[in-house]
């Protein structure tokens, strides 16, 4: 399926008021349950980092809610295995011996582990798609960025002002319906064609 990308601005209070219809966001069948999607972004203030986190209830039919939870868990576990193995392997190889060196090495290894974990999860997703077709429509959950991206849907927040939401739907009909329900939404593909 082709993904549909939509921008959605926050309201004057900095919140996102998303309205969904009573249909599964993936297949369009009647809604039976919800899954949570909690995008977040962090901002550096004078003395600390402030995390802005939002939770959206995304409607699903029972079958796809279950499938989404399974797929996301598999991809997340693979990501963490890649990260942990990189940190352990790198630590054994580098063998830092001073406290400051240990802290610095750990920091770099966690960053590298995050990149390698993502790469492995991406590869695993390609391979697993042969056996579980809906894997192709499952976003890789990036911890701290797209926590809880779900089957056929993802939401992330732009780090620059005005912090628009970037939404992706794999079901084009549901995406169009969503745009009709939510005033202020911009169809990115359409925008590209017009400008």
Asked whether position 61 contacts Zn ion by CB under 5 A, the answer is: yes
How near is the Cβ of 92 to Zn ion at its closest, in Å? 45
Q: State the binding string over 7-26 for Zn ion (x if CB under 5 A, else -).
A: -----------------x-x
Cβ of residue 70: shortest distance to Zn ion, in angstroms?
A: 14
CB neighbour class for 79 (10 Å; exposed up to 12, middle 13-18, buried from 19): buried
Whichever of 4 and 64 has its CB closer to Zn ion, that residue is 64
Using alpha carbons, select from 43, 45, 2 the residue that is nearest to residue 136.
2
Q: Is 31 in the site for Zn ion (CB under 5 A)?
A: no
Of 27 and 69, which has the nearer Cβ to Zn ion?
27
- Structure-token pair, residue 171: 């079901």
Tell me if 79 contacts Zn ion by CB under 5 A.
Answer: no
Q: Which residue in the block uniquely carries the two structure tokens 């969904």?
A: 20
Judged by beta carbon, residue 177 or residue 189, the one nearer Zn ion is: 177
What's the min distance (Å) between Cβ of 137 and Zn ion?
Answer: 11
Nearest to Zn ion of 58, 124 (CB atom) = 58
CA 186 to chain centroid? 19
Site for Zn ion in 90-119 (CB under 5 A): none
If binding means CB under 5 A, how many residues of this protein chain bind Zn ion?
A: 6
Backbone angles phi and psi of 112, in degrees to 5: -65, -40
Q: Which two tokens stand for residue 60?
A: 């699903």
Please state, in angstroms and rounded to a whole number, the distance separating the CA atoms of residues 162 and 184. Answer: 13
């Amino acid at each position: 399926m082709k993904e549909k990308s939509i921008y959605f601005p926050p309201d004057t209070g900095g919140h996102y008021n998303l309205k969904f219809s009573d249909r599964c966001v993936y297949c369009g069948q009647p809604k039976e349950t919800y899954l949570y999607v909690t995008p977040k972004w962090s901002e550096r203030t004078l003395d600390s980092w402030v995390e802005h986190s939002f939770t959206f209830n995304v409607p699903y039919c029972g079958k796809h809610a279950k499938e989404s939870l399974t797929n996301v868990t598999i991809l997340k576990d693979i990501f963490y295995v890649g990260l942990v193995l990189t940190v352990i392997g790198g630590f054994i190889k580098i063998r830092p011996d001073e406290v400051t060196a240990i802290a610095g090495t750990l920091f770099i290894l966690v960053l590298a582990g995050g990149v390698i974990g993502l790469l492995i999860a991406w590869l695993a997703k390609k391979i697993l798609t042969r056996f579980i077709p809906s894997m192709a429509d499952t976003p890789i959950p990036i911890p701290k960025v797209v926590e809880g991206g779900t089957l056929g849907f993802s939401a992330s927040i732009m780090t620059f002002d005005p912090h628009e939401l970037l939404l992706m739907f794999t079901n084009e009909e549901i995406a169009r319906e969503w745009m009709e329900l939510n005033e202020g939404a911009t169809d990115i593909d359409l925008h590209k064609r017009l400008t």
